[in-house]
Amino acid sequence: MITTKLYNRYQTVIPSEIRKKISVDPDSIVEWTINEKGKVELEFRKKVTEKDIIGLIKQELPYNSVEIKKRSGKGLDWE
């Protein structure tokens, strides 16, 4: 068992043994859930970037990568 301390503002550190085993990096996102038994479960996933999504749309629409980045940063929809 590995333990960590909870710091001010409820921050903690993911131990290096765990980070190395599951390939966590600074852009990873931690998803917290509480299961039916009341236990906390963590899941790590990679942050999705504009590089990940550009090219996924197959429709022939004119687009501008700078505009995509601006709109995705602001959470705006495409119409």
Condensed to tens digits (0 to 9), the pLDDT of residues 21-62 reads 988 888 889 999 999 999 999 999 888 877 777 777 666 666
In a domain, 78, yes or no: no
* Residue 7 backbone dihedrals phi, psi, to 5 degrees: -95, 180
What is the rounded distance in angstroms from the CA atom of residue 50 to the CA atom of residue 15? 29
In a domain, 1, yes or no: no
Predicted local confidence at residue 61, as pLDDT: 61
Give me 24's structure tokens. Answer: 């966590």
The domain total for the chain is 1
In a domain, 79, yes or no: no
Terminal CA-to-CA distance of the chain, rounded, Å?
Answer: 50
In a domain, 68, yes or no: yes
Q: Is the pLDDT of residue 73 over 80?
A: no
- Residue span of the structural domain in which 65 resides: 6-73
Give me 77's structure tokens. Answer: 């929809």
Predicted local confidence at residue 3, as pLDDT: 93
What is the rounded distance in angstroms from the CA atom of residue 5 to the CA atom of residue 18? 15
